[in-house]
Structure formats: structure tokens, C-alpha cells
Homo-oligomer: A and B are copies of this chain.
């Protein structure tokens, strides 16, 4: 029996890709299906594992190619919090992040938008690309209670 739960309607994914000038191949639809099932912060490895959870069908090179293409087309956004680890964030609305330095967990902070207001003038001949705010947090030492 082959009962897979489709977390997102494939046609919707296909449309999304087309809307971004991306030919919807089966591999790309699979990857997109994982990224857009819900707002998520996955690194390439996690996408690779998830995309091949049932059976190994998408190569690592393709996962990287696809993620790179999605980034170039503005479908997802990269978040850098640690050396040697890139997160791919499927939430494209302007928002920022909490990064738990202990667990490595990344969570959204939405509608902050404050940093943009009081931004100093940009250097000459440059324009704004994006603003990344990363709030690093750590687990509290519980000194009082046990």
C-alpha cells in the first residue's frame, strides 16, 4: 500500500515554481514540497534527508542546485548563523530570527522592522539588499531554583 501524506498540494507547488520562472521538475517539486509544507528553517542536509525519507531519489548535488536556484529566484532566503551552516528559510516576508546558541534552533521574529527605520545612510553608490537581524540567545543558568 502506498499512502503518502501530501503535506502540500503538488499543483500549488508547481504553480509557485512556474510563477518564479522555475521549470517544475519532479526533484524541484519534492524539495519545494518540503520547504513550503510549513515555515521552516532547514539546512541543505536536512532537506536532503527529508526529500529522501522514503527512498533515495534526489542527489545531494541536486538539493544544492535546487536550493541555490530557489535563493536566486527569491523563493527562499539564506540565513547565516554559524560558520559552515546555512539555513534556508521559506518565510519570505520581512522578519528576523532568534538563534539559540545552545541547541542551534532558529525561530522567527516577525514584524520587527525597527532596524530599517533608523538605518544610517548607505555608502555611496550602493543600494539596500536586505537586513538581517539575528538575536542570539542562550539557555539561562538556573542559579536559584533547582
B134 touches A131 (CB 8 A): yes
| Segment at the interface with B among A14-22, A25-33, A47-55, A110-118 | A110-118
In the assembled complex, A133 has its CB within 8 A of some CB on chain B? yes
Cβ distance A79 to chain B, nearest Cβ, rounded Å: 10
A119 to B86, CA, bound (A): 24
**Which chain B residue lies CB-closest to A134?**
B132
Chain A: number of interface residues, binned into ranges: 35 or more
Return the contact of A135 from the options B107, B128, B135 (Cβ within 8 A). Answer: B128
Cβ distance A124 to chain B, nearest Cβ, rounded Å: 9
B residues less than 8 Å from A86 (CB atoms): 83
In the assembled complex, A85 has its CB within 8 A of some CB on chain B? yes
Given contacts A114-B118, A122-B135, 17 further A-B contacts (CB under 8 A): A80-B80, A80-B82, A83-B84, A98-B123, A100-B123, A107-B123, A109-B120, A112-B119, A115-B135, A123-B137, A125-B142, A128-B136, A129-B136, A131-B133, A131-B134, A131-B135, A131-B136
Q: Which residues of A contact B (CB under 8 A)?
A: 78, 80-86, 98, 100-101, 107, 109, 112, 114-115, 117-120, 122-123, 125-140, 142
